Amino acid sequence: MDYNSNRKQLVLPEYGRNVQKMVDFAMTVEDKEERNRVAKSIIAIMGNMYPHLRDVSDFRHKLWDHLAIMSDFSLDIDSPYEAPTKEKLAEKPELLPYSNQRIKYRHYGRTIELLLEKAIEIEEQKEKDALIQMIANHMKKSYATWNKDSVPDEKIFKDIVELSKGKLQIPEELKLRESREKDYSQKNKKRKPSRPDNRKFSKSK
């Protein structure tokens, strides 16, 4: 018997062996005009296999690229798009730079440190105090995410002064909102179901 394991390995298995055979046939067509017609027919068949992707902007571009890949980049046709190359396909993506900057308190994150730096730069005191309050509330919410115990405001204020290296002072009588996590847990505490009073439904004797 002829098993698939004994056949040539498919380059793009998602299109199946019949499409691969069509591509192999197209490569044997000597007349370029006829070869172009065969290629367009193959593209139409490939597109019909994935009708839900027809509205994707670069769908047809991908089909022509896949046709080139299945022909091992040797099919000489007039593609409406620039044909990919082996070298381009084998290129590795550039490594993304990764910040190794140390974060003192990871549960607050780097964004809080940047906001504190911005608050230090603000000269107008009212605007500075408003930003400090916003930062402090966000810090309290972030702290509660990692620590389910109560979060005292004094702890948040102390961390702000420490992270700003003493350059920020906490506005007097500043009070922070309760964290949403705490509010949610309090509202959703399991309550013991009240025991029904069966005496109301008992028949009078």
Residue 116 has pLDDT above 70, yes or no: yes
Q: Which of the two residues, 197 and 127, has the higher pLDDT score?
A: 127
Higher pLDDT, 63 or 105: 63
Average pLDDT over residues 187-192: 50
User: What phi-psi label fits residue 110: left (phi over 0), alpha (psi between -120 and 50 degrees) or beta?
Assistant: alpha
CA 121, CA 118: separation in Å to the nearest integer? 5
Task: Give CA–CA dist 116/164, Å, rounded.
Answer: 6
pLDDT tens digits, one per residue of 4-35:
667 788 989 999 999 999 999 999 999 999 99
Cα distances (Å, whole numbers) of residue 148 to 143, 152, 170:
8, 12, 24
Question: H or E segment at 160?
Answer: helix 153-163
Q: Which of 180, 156, 181, 160 is nearest to 169 (CA)?
A: 160
Residue ranges per domain, the chain? 10-88, 110-177
C-alpha 149/C-alpha 59 separation (Å) is 52
Q: Spell 41-57 as b/e; 16+ CB within 10 A means b.
A: ebbeebeeeeeeeeeee
Q: HSE-up of 180 (CA within 13 Å, CB side)?
A: 6
What average pLDDT does the chain have? 84
Q: What is the model's pLDDT at position 110?
A: 86
pLDDT of residue 184: 46
Structure confidence at residue 201 (pLDDT): 47
**pLDDT score, position 37:** 96
